[in-house]
Chains A and B, each alone.
Chain A
């Protein structure tokens, strides 16, 4: 049985269709990342899976329990880490964890044991008696995650848990997700950071405009895009002066201009770059900067949608 099974899920807000016939699944014990820019429908999907909002149509199941027909049974197996910090700032970390533990049905010695274990895991034992309101953003994020893990849920849903935090806390969180997964939890992880999706995931579903546009392992997705490298260039003149010439170059799969920056997807950057320099010189333009990225999820997204992941992030 799949840990998460989503079929043809739909949700509209007024005239805006946030989720449009979304389908995906997560096998038990794997990390599945939903990757997409802001507005792709990731958070709406998470909200529907968590029981926060009702889908307009379709179905979603957690270990076979429908989120619509059996919401309590589905929620009992879920630990949700919301995108925003959802803690009481005037309570200490320990008090917060005790409260949320009780909300997940833990009591007495079992609760105390789990609170101690989670504090150890998130590395906040030393400051457990301090009010959360006095913590840094990264520390709050860690408590935010810890609160969802107290009842050792079979499925952990994490909605962009690393947004707006320092690199050290981000590293801590990513390591923690891996540890969770090693301990047997199924993790549904949403992000618009392709590096995180690449590092953490067994499978990745790329979302755009409320639907899955690609699904597979990291390697499968790279292969789907044809293994194209991405080259970002800036010129000393308007890009339109060189674009006609560049578009005729064999091996250049995609060419796009955003805010004067030229993005190209190419099959062999070493072979192609000299030709691009040559054509620029002939057009009276000078290439000022060049940034080459080997094939990655961003280039996959660019290939599939014609736009960059972070343009909308």
Chain B
């Protein structure tokens, strides 16, 4: 009970300190948005596909429209209807990656030979090659559907050719569309498929957990200072003259630090989930487990800093040092996959990296609770180590 009273007192002091609230609440929110924008997206709904100018000499042709819709539904190309002059200007200004010229007569007479389409794009660029492959695929499906329709007409001489052609084309076209969606290979046992888009298509999938972990560590400044103040104000010595045992005092402060870090983590998870489209609640249990383990690790690190530091300045210094080392090397600022082998190997040993792995397994890789046990275990092992060091040092301080 006295442990909780001490915890509540610490929390009251932190809440009363406006500077703490700035560090614990305002700054992480601002930085999350800032870093998200820096990683390439101001909103999660922005269309990042390659823009393709669609220039049609016969815009009313229904079968050409089918091709347009197929391209519009692709994952890589965003066709935009434009006049020829407008498209030329957009291409010059790099507002579009290329332009597709659909000649007059394309798709007007289904059973007639179709004129060739013309794609204008830089064949040496990745975007040009991507446009070519996407248009080629859609056109192949279109021509294939038309050929199936032609063969169907030939196989049913008594039927209305136009109607037979249209029905066969529609069925073949629809079948091609389903092929794209369902795929031809079924995966029976595997982890969830990682999205090929960076950070699962949402830059906040990196920045939200990154800032969350970074500011959890930065929050040490506030929480470690409470213990430092306790020593400086001599209230720690006074506490030791009461019936409270030393371990109860350590536990009371540690719980307060944990509550601060956990509260901040929950706040940033809520922000990520409901404002930034980061799907932490894909598996709430896994997210909760990582958040608890992160809170305990950071709280124990804060406890150690609060015990080791001899002044407020040292608390800030050690906390900043911890934040920079654990954040930079732990992959909170940029994914460790982007770093060199040695850097990534060293970073992979740090608890911050394991916290990132834990969160990213959930929000990027779509994994569940099973994927959270290993990161949580590593974080808890670090927490235990730091707690042991803090208690050992605390005995020396009060002795």
Q: When each residue 356-386 of chain B gets 1 if its CB lies under 8 Å from chain A and 0 otherwise, what string results?
A: 0000000000000000000000000000000
Q: Which residues of A contact B241 (CB under 8 A)?
A: 50-52, 75, 78, 80, 82
- B109 CB-CB contact with A under 8 Å: no
Instruction: Among A78, A91, A99, find the residue whose CB has the most chain B CB atoms closer than 10 A.
Output: A99
- List CB contacts (< 8 Å) of B221-244 with chain A: 233-235, 237-244
CB–CB A86/B238 < 8 A:
yes
Nearest residue (CB) in A for B230 is A88
Within 8 Å of chain A (Cβ to Cβ): is B16?
yes
| Set of chain B residues within 8 Å of A89, measured between Cβ atoms | 233
CB-CB < 8 A to A87: which residues of B? Answer: 233, 235
The answer to the question of B13 belonging to the interface, with a C-beta cut-off of 8 Å to chain A, is: yes
Query: In the complex, are the beta carbons of A82 and B240 less than 8 A apart?
Result: no
8 Å CB contact of A102 from B2, B17, B237? B2
Contact A53 B234 (CB under 8 A): no
Specify which chain B residues have a CB less than 8 angstroms from the CB of A100 in the assembled complex.
238, 242
Task: Across the interface, name the chain A residue whose C-beta is closest to B4.
Answer: A102
Is B399 a contact of A90 with CB atoms below 8 Å? no
In the assembled complex, B5 has its CB within 8 A of some CB on chain A? yes
Q: How far is the CA of A80 from the CA of B237 in the complex (A)?
A: 10
Q: Is the C-beta of B398 less than 8 angstroms from some C-beta in chain A?
A: yes
B398: chain A residues at CB < 8 Å are: 52
Question: Considering only CB atoms, which chain A residue lies closest to B229 in the complex?
Answer: A88
Residues A132-167 near B (CB distance < 8 A): 147
| CB nearest neighbor in A for B17 | A90
A124 to chain B, nearest CB (A): 18
**What residues of A have a CB within 8 angstroms of the CB of B244 in the complex?**
103
Of residues 1 through 36 on chain B, the ones whose CB sits less than 8 Å from some CB of chain A are 2, 5-6, 9, 12-13, 16-17
Q: Which residues of B contact A75 (CB under 8 A)?
A: 241-243
Contact B399 A53 (CB under 8 A): yes
A54 at interface, CB cutoff 8 A: yes
- Report yes or no: A82 in contact with B234, Cβ–Cβ below 8 A: yes
Q: Mark B235-269, 1 if CB is under 8 A from A, else 0.
A: 10111111111000000000000000000000000
Is A281 an interface residue, CB under 8 A from the partner? no
Determine whether the beta carbon of B238 is less than 8 Å from that of A99: no
Q: A82-B234, A84-B234, A90-B17 are in contact. Are A99 and B5 (CB under 8 A)?
A: yes
**Chain B facing A: main interface SS:** helix
Give the complex CA separation of A85 and B233 in angstroms: 7
Asked if A88 and B240 make an inter-chain contact with CB atoms under 8 angstroms apart, the answer reads no
With an 8 A cutoff between CB atoms, is A313 at the interface?
A: no
A175 to B248 Cα, complex, angstroms: 36
Check B234 against A85 for contact (C-beta < 8 Å): yes
By a CB distance below 8 angstroms, the chain B residues around A54 are 399
Chain B residues, Cβ within 8 Å of A95 = 12
B2 touches A52 (CB 8 A): no
A301 at the interface (CB under 8 A from B): no
| Contact A86 B237, CB 8 Å, known A76-B243, A103-B244 | yes
Note all chain A residues with C-beta closer than 8 A to B16: 90
In the complex the two chains form, is A91's CB within 8 Å of B235's CB? no
Minimum CB–CB distance from B247 to chain A (whole Å) comes to: 13
The CA of A63 and the CA of B12, in the complex, are separated in Å by 37
Measured CA separation A248–B162 after assembly (Å): 146
Of residues 329 to 380 in B, which have CB atoms within 8 Å of A's CB atoms? none
Min Cβ gap A96→B in Å is 9
Known contacts A52-B241, A54-B399, A103-B239; decide if A86 and B233 are in contact (CB<8 Å): yes
B243 x A80 contact (CB < 8 A):
no
Least distance between B237 CB and chain A CB atoms (Å):
6
- Which chain B residues border A91 with CB–CB below 8 Å? 9, 12-13
Which A residues between 269 and 313 are near B, CB-CB below 8 angstroms? none
A58 to B385, CA, bound (A): 36
- Minimum CB–CB distance from B94 to chain A (whole Å) comes to 58
User: For the complex, what is the distance from the CA of A95 to the CA of B15, rounded to whole Å?
Assistant: 15
A189 within 8 A of B: no
Cβ contacts A95-130/B at 8 Å (1 or 0 each): 100011011110000000000000000000000000
Residues of B within 8 A of A147 (CB): 238
Assess whether A217 is interfacial by the CB under 8 Å rule.
Answer: no
| Contact, CB under 8 Å: B238 / A82 | yes
- Residue in B closest to A101 when the chains form the complex, CB atoms: B5
Point out the residues of chain B lying under 8 angstroms from A103, CB to CB.
2, 5-6, 239, 242, 244
Q: Which residues of A contact B6 (CB under 8 A)?
A: 103
Give chain B residues whose Cβ lies under 8 Å from the Cβ of A76: 243
Chain A 60-92 interface mask (CB, 8 Å, partner B; 1/0) = 000000000000100110101010111111110
Beyond known contacts A85-B233, A104-B242: 8 more, CB 8 A cutoff = A52-B237, A82-B234, A82-B238, A85-B234, A86-B237, A88-B233, A102-B2, A103-B5
Instruction: In the A-B complex, list the 8 residue pairs whose CB atoms are closest, starting with the nearest.
Output: A86-B238, A86-B234, A80-B241, A50-B241, A84-B234, A103-B242, A102-B5, A86-B235
Q: Can you show 29 pairs from A to B with CB atoms below 8 A apart?
A: A50-B240, A51-B241, A52-B237, A52-B241, A52-B398, A72-B243, A78-B241, A80-B238, A80-B241, A82-B234, A82-B237, A85-B234, A86-B233, A87-B233, A87-B235, A88-B9, A89-B233, A90-B13, A90-B17, A91-B13, A95-B12, A99-B5, A100-B238, A103-B2, A103-B5, A103-B6, A103-B239, A103-B244, A104-B243
Interface residues of A, Cβ cutoff 8 Å to B? 50-54, 72, 75-76, 78, 80, 82, 84-91, 95, 99-100, 102-105, 147
